[in-house]
Amino acid sequence: MEVPTTTPSPATEAQAAVSELLELMAKERASHLRRWCRQDLSMTTLHALLAIEANGRLPMSRLADILDVAVSNATGIVTRMEERGLVRRQHDETDRRVVFVTVTERGRQVVEDREFMRAEELRRVLEAMTEQQRTNLVRAMRDFVSTAERLRAEGRLVEDDPGPRSSDQCVPAGVPPRS
């Protein structure tokens, strides 16, 4: 007599896929972290540089919010970054108490080098894959993105931060604006 087999539910299969993807992503994240630890930039400096670069210019108080530090600590971070030529400070023309931080050309180059390193690594991995593997990967990513977009449109996925923000308030997910 045959034992009936049960087919795993889509939810069970999805949870197994999530577990595997999170494990794979953790390995990749650890690899990137090891590589960045060999660089001459602290993670705080990198985080600050990316936040400033993404916004064009940022008030010092907003940068402190993003980094989750006191303004005095952000000032110290920016001072070290300024000494290395990564950023520059500018006083607001109408309110000299407000100090904006912008990325310099050297700081922009650091960000571009980081992105180039990531793109180069991705290119090497993709080159090592077969044509069929690359095709499958691209197809799967397109399916994933289009499904996520559909679920967002249906209200079944919550945006990281649905509230409107001005460009100088753009922050990474999970960082609330200062009240």
Instruction: Check pLDDT > 50 for residue 176.
Output: no
Q: Under CATH, which number does the domain 39-128 receive?
A: 1.10.10.10
Q: What is the pLDDT of residues 9-18, one digit of tens each?
A: 888 998 998 9
Contact 88, 102 (CB under 8 A): yes
51, 63 in Cβ contact below 8 A? yes
pLDDT tier at 174 (50, 70, 90 boundaries)? very low
In this prediction, residue 177 carries a pLDDT of 43
3-state helix, strand and coil shares in percent for the chain, rounded to the nearest 5: 65, 5, 30
User: In whole angstroms, what separates CA 127 from the centre of its chain?
Assistant: 25
pLDDT digits (tens, 9 = 90+) for 134-166: 999 999 999 999 999 999 999 999 875 544 444
Q: What is the 3-class SS of 36-76, one letter each residue?
A: HHCCCCCHHHHHHHHHHHHHCEEEHHHHHHHHCCCHHHHHH
pLDDT digits (tens, 9 = 90+) for 32-87: 777 766 667 888 898 999 999 988 889 999 999 999 999 999 999 999 999 999 99
Per mean pLDDT, which range of 17-31, 79-93, 120-134 is the poorest?
17-31
Q: 66 with 175: CB under 8 angstroms?
A: yes
User: What are the residue boundaries of the structural domains of the chain, listed by start?
Assistant: 39-128
Q: What pLDDT does residue 125 have?
A: 92
Q: How far apart are CA 92 and CA 101, in angstroms?
A: 10
78, 87 Cβ separation under 8 angstroms? yes
**Does the pTM exceed 0.75?**
no
**Ranked by mean pLDDT, which of 23-27, 76-80, 96-100 comes out on top?**
76-80
Residue 94 main-chain phi, psi, to 5 deg: -95, -25
Q: What tokens does 62 get?
A: 């907003």
